[in-house]
Amino acid sequence: MIHATNISKTYGQTKVLNKVDFSLAPAEIVSIIGPSGAGKTTLLHILGTLDRPDKSEETKLEIEGIDMTRLSDKELSSFRNQQLGFVFQFHQLLPEFTALENICLPAYIKGTSKDKAERKATELLRFFGLQNRAEHKPAMLSGGEQQRIAVARALINKPSLLLADEPSGNLDTVAAEQLHDLFFKLRDEFSISIILVTHNKDLAIRADRMLKLVDGQWS
Ligand code: ADP
């Protein structure tokens, strides 16, 4: 699924990531933990092609057999739209759109018809037990519901990989647990691979593998 070798990232004089290797198998769930400032988000952004690693001969980033370092920005955004799903700490749903419309957005960007997108979004709402929230705007939803809608939005184009950055960081214990259960259900039902950056111990240890990043290196 992912083969990354020698990933470094430097901001000015600061080396945030130092020759990090990473690999992920299909349908595997990996958690990444570590202290604040360790470089977790930076690594997740690079693995998700939202950011590029420092250039070097030894640096490789292959996702689904495709060499990401060779793609143009335009090709990368198309790849992201179709193959990758992102979930962030704050749901980042658009406030003036309904839950259903928010879920449909990545499908519209891909060029999917309104009918087809809405059908798929409705299926996802049902899968998440949120079918009666389709017409709700984000402000009318609980934190847990907002986050599940954000996960549905990440899934509408059927990505093979989901990347989540502190997905339950803003939720109470019960809503967090519900969201965590959902990640494992997604993996079991759709064979999706998941990378979770998290401070939540319960979630981190449930993963197939837990990795710890300290000062830009595995520890
Ligand atoms: P973590 O997710 O583990 O808390 P981050 O990856 O967010 O760590 O950040 C690691 C370090 O990189 C921090 O010291 C942060 O200030 C720095 N950093 C992150 N993004 C940038 C940026 N765009 N410009 C400069 N420094 C950055």
**CATH number for the domain harbouring residue 112:** 3.40.50.300
Query: Which residue minimizes the CA distance to atom 21 of ligand 1?
Result: 11
pTM: 0.95
pLDDT tens track of the chain, all 219 residues?
A: 999 999 999 999 999 999 999 999 999 999 999 999 999 999 999 999 999 999 999 999 999 999 998 899 999 999 999 999 999 988 899 999 999 999 999 999 999 999 999 999 999 999 999 999 999 999 999 999 999 999 999 999 999 999 999 999 999 999 999 999 999 999 999 999 999 999 999 999 999 999 999 999 999
Alpha helix positions (H), 23-137: 40-47, 73-83, 99-110, 114-127
Tokens of 213: 């990043």
Looking at the structure of the chain, the number of domains it has is 1
Determine the residue of 8, 17, 41 to mutate for testing ligand 1's pocket, defined as the one with the most ligand atoms within 8 A of the Cβ atom.
Answer: 41
Task: Print the domain residue range for 19.
Answer: 2-218
